[in-house]
């Protein structure tokens, strides 16, 4: 009689263990399935933006014409940033004045935006390609 009770207890306990396992698996899996793929595609989008290689002619020259050439032009004694080599040779200085110190454009006379400053710095960090 005792043996039967023990056996019944054993069967019961394994069933309980199985039951709780069954409950545990879907509880753990479902949230991952719901948010998992969305998270991954978000990350990919962000990386695409970061990995986009900027170029002087396409991305930077239009900003320079808008924001720098009012003062940095061929008639001035200042560096002429519409010349790629001129910017390239002073790229660390340009990054410092435009992005880190932000005292260029002088008095922000040409109302350069933070996005444009960030773009110039990113372009320089990427190697300042033409």
Q: Which residues bind ligand HEC (CB under 6 A)?
A: 67-68, 70-72, 78-79, 81, 90, 93-94, 97-98, 104-106, 109-110, 112
Helix (H, G, I), strand (E, B) or coil at 40: helix
Least distance to ligand HEC from the beta carbon of 122, Å? 14
Between CA 89 and CA 92 the distance in angstroms is: 8
Closest to ligand HEC by CB, 38 vs 101, is 101
Closest to ligand HEC by CB, 67 vs 128, is 67
Least distance to ligand HEC from the beta carbon of 128, Å? 12
Establish how many alpha carbons lie within 13 A of residue 87's alpha carbon, considering only the half-sphere containing its beta carbon. Answer: 26
* CA dihedral over 37, 43, 46, 51, signed as positive or negative: negative
Closest to ligand HEC by CB, 23 vs 73, is 73
CB 56 within 8 A of CB 87: yes
Least distance to ligand HEC from the beta carbon of 76, Å? 8
DSSP state of 108: G
Closest to ligand HEC by CB, 54 vs 79, is 79
Least distance to ligand HEC from the beta carbon of 80, Å? 11
How many C-beta neighbours within 10 Å does residue 59 have? 17
């Amino acid at each position: 009689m005792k043996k039967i009770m023990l056996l019944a207890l054993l069967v019961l306990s394994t069933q309980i263990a199985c039951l709780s396992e069954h409950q545990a698996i879907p509880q753990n899996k479902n949230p991952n399935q719901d948010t998992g793929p969305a998270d991954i595609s978000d990350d990919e989008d962000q990386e695409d933006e970061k990995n986009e290689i900027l170029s002087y002619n396409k991305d930077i020259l239009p900003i320079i014409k808008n924001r720098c050439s009012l003062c940095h032009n061929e008639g001035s004694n200042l560096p002429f940033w519409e010349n790629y080599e001129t910017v390239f040779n002073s790229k660390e200085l340009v990054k410092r004045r435009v992005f880190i110190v932000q005292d260029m454009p002088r008095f922000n006379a040409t109302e350069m935006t933070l996005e444009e400053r960030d773009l110039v710095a990113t372009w320089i960090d990427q190697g300042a390609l033409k």
